[in-house]
Amino acid sequence: MSIAVALFTRDLRVHDNPVLAAAARGGEVVPLFVLDEQILERKPLSANRIRFLLTALAELDTELRDRGGRLVVRRGDVGAEVARVVAEVGARTVHIASDVSRYSALRAERLRDGLSQHGCELREHSGTVTVVAPGALVPSSGAAHFAVFTPYFRRWLETPLRAVLAAPNTLTVPEIESRALPEPTELCAKPGSPRLSVGGESTGRKLVRRWLSGPVDDYATRSDDLAADATSHLSPYLHFGCLSATELVHRTDLSADGGHAFARQLAWRDFNHQLLAARPDLAWSNLRRGPVQPRTDPHAFDAWREGRTGYPVIDAAMRQLLAEGWMPGRARLIAASFLTKNLRIDWRIGADHFLRWLVDADIANNQLNWQWAAGTGTDTRPNRVLNPLRQAERNDPGGDYARRWLPELNTLSGNAIHRPWRAPLLAPDYPPPIVEVNGM
């Protein structure tokens, strides 16, 4: 009987996991996760993502144990640790999910070279992280990747979905040493967000059941309603691969308006991944020249990141980010547009702050959404500026979202909260607007 290694990365699940399914097919399997020192040494490390990662690993271990297996945890240099495990059990194959960042491409290259010296093969599985593999769809113009979403989405909808893979019924793991999972503070001393949602595959699957049993039906009409909080909240589970995006699409009714609109967002995720896979430099370089020349203003940046700009919808969003490590998509867009277009601060500075705090942050979605908002990316109308007052009136018409996060403004009722400068006596502790916008 042969032994294979399933090297988990951003695919922390047993359901619909091509990596685990392929590794378990041949016989014994080592379900392996390496706490990668190269990532752990990055400064600053995201306390929120570390905490989520550790709970996701604990849930993965439980899922594996339910099937007779367990998670093998190692810590150190990924190449060296995987080579050690391969030598200890005599594995002939290591399976891993293909991913799109420059770091993951280098990791795969190093693993392939290192393992070949042990007579072991690295097999990458492309349909693990995204629904449609990056590079599988190319425009008829002959370009290497899509840079406009609408034609990409048309093709994405026509692409046949691979079948969902059942979780393995039983797993046989050879005798091999494993480390205990560390406490979050062992990896990152900072406490992170007080109201962070945590969990892994089983928590994520419960959320999906609830989401698809009704709330998704209203997604097309309510996803931008900030107070209603009517989006799925699945992003961290998708980021860490506790959920399979392919399985989600299978289970979503694409013929219904809500289901179609929801799948469209999953296609945005794929779109960003295919772009970053083709252009890893876009993590930090502009796709195109932006409409404004960025300036340096540490005072304005501090006000933005601390939620003190004087615009309640922006400040609510930025305080939610610190408190929960998460924000609704519409709030991210308004906050990013404000930083880059109103305050004219470079998108990379805002993106870096999001990377620090967002529990779902990934290089593809974060950086490319920031570029979209800044007008340096794939927005077909790069000059558009989202007026924070109009956005607030449209997406928080009753002011409840702003009131939820700004207790010092709770004496302002209805949408009067969005213009606190008109009632200065009712908001004595709230700062004046940091910059002027139309409609004040």
Ligand X SMILES: Cc1cc2nc3c(=O)[nH]c(=O)nc-3n(C[C@H](O)[C@H](O)[C@H](O)COP(=O)(O)OP(=O)(O)OC[C@H]3O[C@@H](n4cnc5c(N)ncnc54)[C@H](O)[C@@H]3O)c2cc1C
Cβ-based nearer residue to ligand X, 240 or 430: 240
Measured from the CB of residue 198, what is the shortest distance to ligand X in angstroms? 15
Residue from 156, 240, 370, 405 in contact with ligand X (CB under 6 A): 370
Confirm or reject binding of residue 232 to ligand X (CB under 6 A).
yes
Cβ-based nearer residue to ligand X, 6 or 238: 238
Residue from 13, 332, 356, 419 in contact with ligand X (CB under 6 A): 332
Measured from the CB of residue 357, what is the shortest distance to ligand X in angstroms? 10
Cβ-based nearer residue to ligand X, 10 or 332: 332
Confirm or reject binding of residue 339 to ligand X (CB under 6 A).
no
Measured from the CB of residue 291, what is the shortest distance to ligand X in angstroms? 16
Each residue 343-362 as x (binds ligand X by CB under 6 A) or -, in order, gives: -----------x---x-xxx
Residue from 84, 162, 233, 394 in contact with ligand X (CB under 6 A): 233
Cβ-based nearer residue to ligand X, 52 or 370: 370
Cβ-based nearer residue to ligand X, 276 or 336: 336
117, 145 contact by CB (below 8 A): no
Question: What distance lies between CA 245 and its chain's CA centroid?
Answer: 12
Residue from 165, 373, 389, 402 in contact with ligand X (CB under 6 A): 373
Measured from the CB of residue 262, what is the shortest distance to ligand X in angstroms? 6
Residue from 114, 127, 328, 382 in contact with ligand X (CB under 6 A): 328
Cβ-based nearer residue to ligand X, 11 or 28: 11
Residue from 318, 336, 349, 409 in contact with ligand X (CB under 6 A): 336
Confirm or reject binding of residue 371 to ligand X (CB under 6 A).
no
Burial class (CB in 10 A: 0-12, 13-18, 19+), 344: middle
Gap between the Cα atoms of 421 and 440, Å rounded:
9
Measured from the CB of residue 148, what is the shortest distance to ligand X in angstroms? 14
Gap between the Cα atoms of 373 and 370, Å rounded:
5
Measured from the CB of residue 355, what is the shortest distance to ligand X in angstroms? 7
Each residue 236-275 as x (binds ligand X by CB under 6 A) or -, in order, gives: --xx-------------------------xx-xx--x---
5 to 13, 24, 57, 170, 284: CA distances (angstroms): 15, 9, 17, 16, 33
Cβ-based nearer residue to ligand X, 33 or 219: 219
Cβ-based nearer residue to ligand X, 247 or 362: 362
Confirm or reject binding of residue 234 to ligand X (CB under 6 A).
yes
CA-wise closest residue to 56 among 179, 167, 197? 197
Each residue 210-229 as x (binds ligand X by CB under 6 A) or -, in order, gives: -------------x------
Binding range to ligand X, per CB under 6 A, among 24-32, 174-182, 299-307, 368-376: 368-376
Cβ-based nearer residue to ligand X, 66 or 306: 306
Gap between the Cα atoms of 310 and 357, Å rounded:
22
Q: What are phi and psi of 407, to 5 degrees?
A: -60, -25
Confirm or reject binding of residue 365 to ligand X (CB under 6 A).
yes
Site residue total, ligand X (CB under 6 A):
28
Cβ-based nearer residue to ligand X, 292 or 373: 373
Positions in the binding site for ligand X (CB under 6 A): 223, 231-235, 238-239, 265-266, 268-269, 272, 328-329, 332-333, 336, 354, 358, 360-362, 365-366, 369-370, 373
